[in-house]
Structure 1
Amino acid sequence: MQLYLMGLWETVRDFIATGGDVLYLVFIALLIMWIVLVERYWYLLGVFPKDRKRIIEQWEARKDTTSWYAHKIREAWVSEVSVKLNSRMLLLKTMIAVCPMIGLLGTVTGMIAVFEIMAVQGTGNPRLMASGISMATIPTMAGMVAALSGMIFVTRLDARIRRERDKLLDSLPHH
């Protein structure tokens, strides 16, 4: 197991060396995005059902569910839960948008490295130019993969949040 982990670490280190230091920024953005995604799913699947149950019990315990005041209380409860459900969704969507931008930063720094090599060595050393081109393309690819991985789950999470909110509204009848 230890040998496998060491081999994995070597592979990651080689990948970062090929793509440049910008990959650390992509990794940090990806880590933040996935920590928040896991937290949002934890809330949606673990905490929200208890909140929904509590609100439905409070609504059913009310004697008055038809007056204007009752409707405003219902709206306030649903609004409060909606805020909790949508909490940090903007951060997630921002991280998805930032990942490709960080990758493009890597492209720019990689191309600068290629131009520096060309200025110093000329165009006669293709091996050195290839390393600069790798530094230009790998961060872009990493940023795009990071964004796509988050986009899939955030889209599903967003749809699930809307569905749960609508189910809560349907569970609070207003006669």
Structure 2
Amino acid sequence: MMLQLIGLWESVQDFIHTGGNVLYVVAAVLFIMWVLMIERYWYVTSIFPKMKREIVAKWDAREDTTSWYAHKIRDCWISEATDKLDQRMLLIKTLVAMCPLVGLLGTVTGMIAVFDIMATQGTGNPRTMAAGISMATIPTMAGMVAALSGVFFSSRLEVKVKREKADLVDSLPHH
């Protein structure tokens, strides 16, 4: 078991060495994105249902649910709950969109390495050029894979948030 972990760690180190330091940035963006998505999923499934029950209980406890003031109070509660549901969703979408861009940054730095090698050593050494080309393609691939994982999960999370918003509005009937 320990040898397998060591082998896995060495392969990750080789991957990062081949892809360049930009992979650290891709990994950081990916980590932050997933932490935020997991937090939002936890909020929507654990915290928000309690909040919704409290809002519905407050609405049901009101004697007046038909006046203009009652409707404004209802709208305020819905707005506050919606704001809490939408927290960090824009940041998550931004991080998903950043993943391929950070990968492209790796492409640019890798191509600069290739051109630097060509300028100093000429085009006669394909091995040194191959390292730069790997440094150009691997971060792009890593950025795209990170973005794909984020797109799938964030879109499912967004649908869940929209469903919760609609369910809250339906739970507070206005007569």
Give the shorter-chain TM-score range. over 0.9
Aligned length: 175
Mapped to 1, the partners of 2:11 and 2:79 lie a distance apart of: 48
Q: Verify: 1:158 aligned to 2:158, yes or no.
A: yes
* Correspondence for 1:107: 107
Unaligned 5+ runs, structure 2: none
Normalised TM-score (structure 2): 0.98
**1:80 aligned residue:** 80
**Aligned equivalents of 1:90 and 1:79: distance in 2?**
17
1:20 match: 20
Distance 1:84 1:6 in 2: 43
**Residue 66 of structure 1: SS of its match in structure 2?**
coil
Structure 2 CA distance for aligned equivalents of residues 137 and 94 of structure 1: 23
SS at match of 1:174: coil
CA distance in 2, matches of 1:22, 1:29: 11
Aligned to 1:51: 51
2:123 partner SS: coil
- For residue 122 of structure 2, what is the aligned residue in structure 1? 122
Q: Which runs of 4+ in 1 moved over 4 A?
A: none
Separation in 2, partners of 1:105, 1:149: 19
Q: How far is 1:2 from its partner? A: 2.0
1:139 aligns to 2:139 (yes or no) = yes
Please give the alpha-carbon distance, in whole angstroms, between the structure 1 residues aligned to 2:123 and 2:16.
25
Query: Which residue in the other structure is 2:61 paired with?
Result: 61
Report the TM-score, using the length of structure 1 for normalisation.
0.98
In 1, Cα distance between equivalents of 2:167 and 2:144: 34
Residues in 2 aligned to 1:158 and 1:147: alpha-carbon distance in whole angstroms: 16
Please tell me the residue identity of whatever aligns with 2:88: R
Let me know the Cα RMSD of the aligned residues.
0.7
- Paired residue secondary structure (2:81): helix
**Which residues of structure 1 form unaligned runs of 5+?**
none
Amino acid across the alignment from 2:68: W
